[in-house]
């Protein structure tokens, strides 16, 4: 064994740090998304309550902006999820007992068949819900549904 090879606990620590870095990105992206949506929903509210004809175009543009921001953040969040999964897979390939060194993240404890609920996690679901909300606001305002 060469001196450059990481010991299992060092490898686990490195993977945990990388996963923590991705988690920080997720938290930042969710924060940006919440801030942008809060501001945009507030602007739509103030424009909508005035009920002036010339407010229609700005509201429609705000709906598109909100939708695109949420789509962009959803894509970034899914990319981050793929990175975390790949980092966990790297650890699982080491085939080290969980009693010797704990998994590098919480999903490592869950059976693979039970991991299918990832799409219901906040970082997957919230951007989709907000995108639907922007679509509904657009339809109500543009077409009077």
In a domain, 68, yes or no: yes
In a domain, 69, yes or no: yes
**Number of domains making up the chain:** 1
> What pTM does this model have?
0.84
Range of the domain at 120: 8-143
Q: pLDDT exceeding 90 applies to what percent of the chain?
A: 56
Give rounded-to-5 percent helix, strand, coil for the chain.
80, 0, 20
pLDDT along the chain (145 residues), means of 10: 74 94 95 97 91 84 97 96 90 86 72 69 91 95 78
In a domain, 2, yes or no: no
State the CB neighbour count (10 A cutoff) for residue 86. Answer: 10
In a domain, 34, yes or no: yes
What per-residue confidence (pLDDT) applies to 1? Answer: 45
């Amino acid at each position: 064994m060469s001196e450059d090879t990481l010991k299992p606990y060092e490898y686990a620590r490195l993977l945990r740090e990388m996963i923590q870095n991705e988690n920080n990105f997720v938290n930042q992206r969710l924060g940006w998304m919440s801030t942008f949506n809060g501001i945009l929903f507030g602007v739509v509210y103030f424009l909508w309550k005035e009920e002036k004809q010339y407010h229609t175009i700005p509201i429609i543009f705000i709906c598109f902006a909100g939708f695109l921001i949420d789509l962009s953040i959803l894509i970034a969040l899914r990319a981050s999820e793929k990175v975390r999964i790949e980092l966990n897979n790297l650890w699982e390939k080491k085939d080290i007992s969980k009693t010797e060194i704990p998994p590098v993240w919480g999903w490592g404890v869950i059976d693979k068949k039970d991991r299918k609920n990832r799409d219901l996690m906040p970082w997957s679901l919230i951007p989709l819900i907000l995108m639907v909300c922007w679509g509904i606001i657009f339809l109500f305002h543009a077409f009077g549904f």
